[in-house]
Amino acid sequence: MQERERTNAAKRHSIYRDIAAPAAGPALAFGVTLVRLASGREVSDAVITPLLFAAVVIGAALSGRWPALATAALATFGLVLGSSETDPLRTGLAVAALVAIALVTGELRDRAERAEGAVEVAHQRLQRVALRDALTGLLDRRGFEFAMGVEIARERRRGGTFALLLLDLSGVKTANERFGASVGDTLIQVLADAIEQRIRQSDIPARVADHQFAVILPDTNARGAEVIAGQILGSFKDELAGVAPSGLVARGSFAFSLFPADGRNADELLNGATRRLEAAPSGGTIPDGA
């Protein structure tokens, strides 16, 4: 419900920004000009002229330079209608002032909008970075939980299925103790690279624990999950064989759960895959001495 309310609010804001705001200044100037046409000289210039200037300021402040210039053109028409033939200088100065206000105020509004857009882009980038694991570049646990929520909601709406694949890497602690933390980090990075090389564009990988990874596999059944896991661990074995120091032992294992057969929410799916992972045989092994 709250998500729907936020979506509706965003739509209303978009309509205001794209339609109502740019039309406000020109609409006011057009209305004042119509009043001038309908009333002739009955309405004083002391009333009409400030209203036309106000229309230009509103047009510039709400929507930028070009709507402000359109408003200035309408306001100029209104000023000319109300001007006397004996006072062209005063009318010309007023028109020049309208154009100057439109240009200056509109440019300030445009710059403010560009700055606001730059801040929004920076905020989005910061959010993406905040949900990424620093070592692997994959989603972190928070990013994974968010992605799981989105995928579950999507599959519930369309009555679809997906697989949650868990991959566990053993030997990281020993590698850190025997060869240093950089070697342990290399193990994790190599598995992360193998995951990214073997998954599809629609799949969503994440590092959910120190040496544990998860991959959301949309439209994937049990056989498909097994094939992808085998390819990942095979690539991990091949890649690590070329960089592993002598005496390093690292093993990968996998398990998966299916939505909705094994669970209808993130906790059920993750817990089911975790239980299977604890009992799973290891694969993708780098044997001692490789």
Q: What is the pTM of this model?
A: 0.57
- pLDDT in the model for residue 244: 76
pLDDT value of position 103: 74
The CA distances from residue 209 to 61, 72, 147, in Å, are 50, 61, 16
The structural domains of the chain, with segments of one domain joined by +, span: 2-129, 141-286
Query: Is the domain covering 141-286 a CATH 3.30.70.270 domain?
Result: yes
Sign (positive or negative) of CA dihedral 207, 208, 210, 215: negative
Residue-wise pLDDT tens digits, 257-279? 999 999 999 999 999 999 998 88
pLDDT the model gives residue 256: 95
Residues of the chain with pLDDT under 50: 1-11, 13, 15-16, 86, 123, 126, 283-290
Among all chains, which residue has been given the structure tokens 């965003």?
10
The span from the CA of 40 to the CA of 49, in Å, is 14
How many Cβ atoms from other residues are within 10 Å of residue 127's Cβ?
11
What is residue 7's predicted lDDT score, i.e. its pLDDT? Answer: 45
User: What is the pLDDT at residue 243?
Assistant: 78
- Which pLDDT value is given to residue 60? 62
Q: How far apart are alpha carbons 202 and 195 in whole angstroms?
A: 13
| pLDDT for 48 | 65
Q: Which residue has the tokens 């700055």?
A: 115
Encode pLDDT of 206-232 as tens digits.
Answer: 999 999 999 999 999 999 999 999 999
What pLDDT, on the 0 to 100 scale, is given for residue 280?
A: 67
pLDDT number for residue 47: 66
Closest CA to 81 of 71, 67, 65, 95: 95
Indicate the DSSP class of residue 209: E
What pLDDT, on a 0 to 100 scale, did the predictor assign at position 157? 87
